[in-house]
Amino acid sequence: MTRPRPRSLGDVGEHAWLASLIPRLRSARRRRRVLVGPGDDAAVLGAGDRPLVLTTDALVEGTHFERGWASPRALGRRAYRVAASDVAAMGATPIAALLAVTAPPSMSARDLTGLTAGVAAEATAHGAALVGGNLARDARLALTVTVLGEAPGAVVRRSGARPGEVVVVTGALGAAAAHLANRRANRRAGRRVRLPEVPDRAAVGVALAGVVSAMIDLSDGLSQDLGHVCRASGVGAMVALADVPVAASCRRRFGPAAPAAALTGGEDYELLATLPPAALAVARRVAARHGVALAVVGRIVARPRGVRVVGPDGRPWTPARGGFDHFR
């Protein structure tokens, strides 16, 4: 008899592993200072007069980007915005950021300074500051940004969605999915395809926090991230594929398949929120003040749990893939 091989991350998948881990960290929530533990966009801590939020996110060469996809400065800016997106989704404002870099010795000092300047400039532009970090050697470049934020009011969690509420998203989706497809098509041609900019949703996130019941940032794709909200809230959701706002680059790339790509593609970093229909007009005015459009993409239901998508023909529609998972 052979011993069974232990299951790898590739077997289990990122999200299934995280789902198994989070209950084990339950004790974290019993600490006096921990208002929200693992499993939301960011942790929430009570250490002052206002709730503090704390989150970390990484951009890894070969996984999230390749050299030449963005200038060092743009990559630094992206790393900051990706991490700050989780702070916005809690309805909080960044105070301070840390940047941990791993880099190969062959990397130019100027490029590393450019990366750091990108993080610092973006933090400063949002009223925060790059206050520290770490530098270590590795074969590949990776940027891990931690952001500490502060909520001016109550934080918005994933668990607040209630049946009857509408589901809204900011901006338009699918630009990152289009980039991925364009990149594949251009690889043989040797053309460089720049990463789409991560939208700046810092201000609108805080502004919406007073109006919405639940919020999450779209890092893994609308269908998957709305699934996270449904699970945390103990509800279901119906999404109309025809109502998903589609980015122009996504429409160009995918044509009639664009709404499906926008629904399932990751890394858009727009915000998804749920709110009572009566609050929709207020939410739209609040978002418009920040130059951001809100689109209603669906509705929260009591049953069945999980996300159901309705196609343009009114029939149930099943996505070919469920959203991004690092290990599947």
Pick the binder of its own copies from 70, 95, 167, 283 (CB under 8 A): 95
List Cα–Cα distances, 19 to 12, 13, 24, 39, 122, in angstroms. 11, 10, 10, 8, 32
Q: With CB under 8 A as the contact rule, which of the stretches 107-115, 156-164, 196-204, 229-237 interacts with its own copies?
A: 107-115
Selected from 3, 4, 68, 109, the binder of its own copies by CB under 8 A is 109
- My answer on whether omega of the bond before 72 falls inside 30° of 0, hence cis, is no
Select from 8, 189, 314, 320 the one that contacts its own copies (CB under 8 A): 8
Q: What is the DSSP letter of 26?
A: T
Whose Cβ is closer to its own copies: residue 111's or residue 243's? 111
Query: Minimum Å distance from CB 202 to its own copies?
Result: 16
Q: Return d(Cα 319, Cα 21) in angstroms, integer.
A: 27
| CA proximity to 300, closest of 212, 219, 208, 206 | 212
- Which of 125, 134, 184, 302 contacts its own copies by CB under 8 A? 134
Reading the block at residue 33, the tokens are 């200072």
Least distance between its own copies and beta carbon 155 (Å): 13
Q: Which region among 37-45, 71-79, 189-197, 275-283 touches its own copies (by CB under 8 A)?
A: 37-45
Rounded distance between C-alpha atoms, residue 213 and residue 187, angstroms: 43
Q: Which is nearer to its own copies, 14 or 66 (CB)?
A: 14
For residues 144 and 58, is the Cβ–Cβ distance under 8 A? yes
- Smallest separation, CB 195 to its own copies (Å): 16
- CB nearer to its own copies: pick between 112 and 232: 112
Q: Which 3 state secondary structure label does DSSP give 267?
A: coil
Q: Which is closer to its own copies, CB of 73 or CB of 251?
A: 73
> Which residue lies nearer to its own copies by CB, 89 or 166?
89
Token pair for 88: 């916005």
By CB under 8 A, tell whether 128 contacts its own copies.
Answer: yes
Per the CB < 8 A criterion, the answer to whether 167 and 244 are in contact is no
List the one residue out of 159, 124, 218 whose CA is nearest residue 37.
159
Figure out which of the listed residues 43, 79, 208, 258 binds its own copies, where binding follows CB under 8 A.
43
Closest approach of its own copies to the CB of residue 8, in Å: 5
Tell me which residues in 47-66 interact with its own copies (CB under 8 A).
Answer: 47-50, 52, 54-58, 60, 62-64
Residue 214: CB minimum distance to its own copies, A = 18
Please compute, for residue 292, the number of CA atoms within 13 A of its CA located in the half-sphere on the CB side: 23
Half-sphere exposure of 182 (CA within 13 A, CB side): 18
Is 313 a binding residue for its own copies by CB under 8 A? The answer is: no
Which CB, 165 or 217, lies closer to its own copies?
Answer: 217
CB of 208 to its own copies, least distance (A): 22
CB-count exposure of residue 28 (10 Å: 0-12, 13-18, 19+): middle
186 makes contact with its own copies (CB under 8 A): no
